[in-house]
């Protein structure tokens, strides 16, 4: 009989050190990207959900998961991409949103702000808290963020879009 070496909690604990390659202050778990962990004997399957279908960080994150678990003594690791249910910024924990704000990125509002017509949401400046801000570009350094500028403190900032 094979003795099960790791529990799901053990694996999740190991994975909790992996941060988002683009926003290094938050972990992929806080982002809501780890959907589940399946353990069969000595093999571990991690279910990962992409934030955006074309997110170029996915390969890196998959690699991080494998390396982290290998380092923790788990040899047989598979990472499976799952699309259902679709990732939403609503899964981001409050802690993640708070850390993001401190880092200088305005965290997303709820996903219900994603109207299919014209968006007129108020995005707060993460630097000075002003509500007088203006979008300068629909996309920023990554697909998941857009660029804003604050009319009060004049600082530019990124906004993590509702999704």
**Restricting to residues 64-123, which ones interact with another protein according to CB under 8 A?**
82-88, 114, 116-119
| Nearest to 134, CA basis, from 123, 145, 118 | 123
Peptide bond into 85 cis (omega under 30): yes
Tell me: does residue 147 bind another protein (CB under 8 A): yes
- The nearer residue to another protein, 43 or 139, going by C-beta atoms, is 139
Nearest approach in angstroms of CB 139 to another protein is 4
Stretch that binds another protein, among 15-23, 53-61, 71-79, 98-106 (CB under 8 A): 53-61
- Site size toward another protein (CB under 8 A) is 27
Paired tokens of 71: 């380092």
Which of 6, 21, 45, 52 is in the footprint of another protein by CB under 8 A?
A: 52
Contacts of 146 (CB under 8 A, 6+ apart): 135, 137, 138, 139, 140, 158, 159, 161
Distance (Å, whole) CA 48 – CA 82? 6
User: Which residue in the block uniquely carries the two structure tokens 């690791």?
Assistant: 77
For another protein, the binding residues (CB under 8 A) are 50, 52-56, 82-88, 114, 116-119, 136-140, 143, 147, 161, 163
């Amino acid at each position: 009989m094979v003795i099960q070496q790791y529990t799901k909690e053990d694996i999740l604990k190991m994975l909790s050190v992996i941060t988002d390659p683009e926003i290094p202050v938050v972990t992929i778990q806080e982002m809501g990207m780890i959907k589940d962990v399946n353990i069969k004997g000595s093999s571990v399957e991690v279910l990962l959900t992409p934030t955006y279908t074309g997110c170029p960080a996915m390969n890196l994150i998959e690699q991080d998961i494998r390396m982290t678990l290998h380092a923790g003594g788990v040899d047989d690791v598979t990472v499976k991409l799952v699309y259902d249910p679709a990732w939403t910024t609503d899964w981001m924990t409050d802690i993640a949103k708070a850390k993001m704000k401190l880092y200088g990125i305005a965290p997303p509002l709820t996903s219900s702000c994603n109207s299919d017509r014209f968006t007129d949401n108020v995005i707060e400046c993460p630097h000075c808290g002003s509500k007088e801000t203006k979008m300068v570009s629909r996309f920023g350094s990554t697909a998941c963020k857009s660029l804003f500028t604050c009319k009060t403190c004049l600082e530019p900032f990124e906004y993590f879009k509702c999704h």
